[in-house]
């Protein structure tokens, strides 16, 4: 009985991909890279990227960390906007 009550109250968020969702995710990743450029202690640690100037002078570990943060941020923004009915 508890399981059926939990399933009845769980929010369903059937989001399918759209250009709006893609733009939101790209924007959140750019914001995360810009934020990390000024806050990460060692952003250019090895191994280096082939075109690190394009990514704010970051190395591979910095880029992976910031884009991971950007995806978490983007998922939160997308789910938040969806829950208030904006997308």
- Does pTM top 0.75 for this prediction? no
Number of domains in the chain: 1
Question: What would the pLDDT profile of 19-56 be if each residue is shown by its tens digit?
Answer: 999 999 999 999 998 888 888 777 677 787 777 667 66
Q: What is the domain range of residue 68?
A: 14-83
Question: What would the pLDDT profile of 57-79 be if each residue is shown by its tens digit?
Answer: 778 888 888 899 999 999 999 99
Percent of residues in the chain assigned helix, strand, coil, to nearest 5: 65, 0, 30
Q: Is residue 5 part of a domain?
A: no
Question: Which pLDDT band holds residue 5 (cuts at 50, 70, 90)?
Answer: low
Q: Is residue 4 part of a domain?
A: no
27-51 burial, b at 16+ Cβ within 10 Å, e below that, comes to ebbebbbeebeeebeebeeeeeeee
């Amino acid at each position: 009985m508890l399981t059926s009550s939990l399933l009845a109250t769980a929010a369903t968020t059937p989001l399918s991909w759209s250009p709006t969702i893609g733009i939101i995710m790209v924007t959140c990743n750019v914001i995360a890279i810009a934020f990390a450029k000024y806050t990460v202690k060692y952003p250019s640690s090895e191994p280096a990227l082939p075109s690190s100037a394009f990514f704010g002078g970051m190395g591979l570990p910095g880029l992976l960390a910031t884009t991971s943060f950007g995806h978490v941020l983007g998922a939160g923004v997308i789910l938040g906007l969806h829950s208030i009915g904006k997308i």
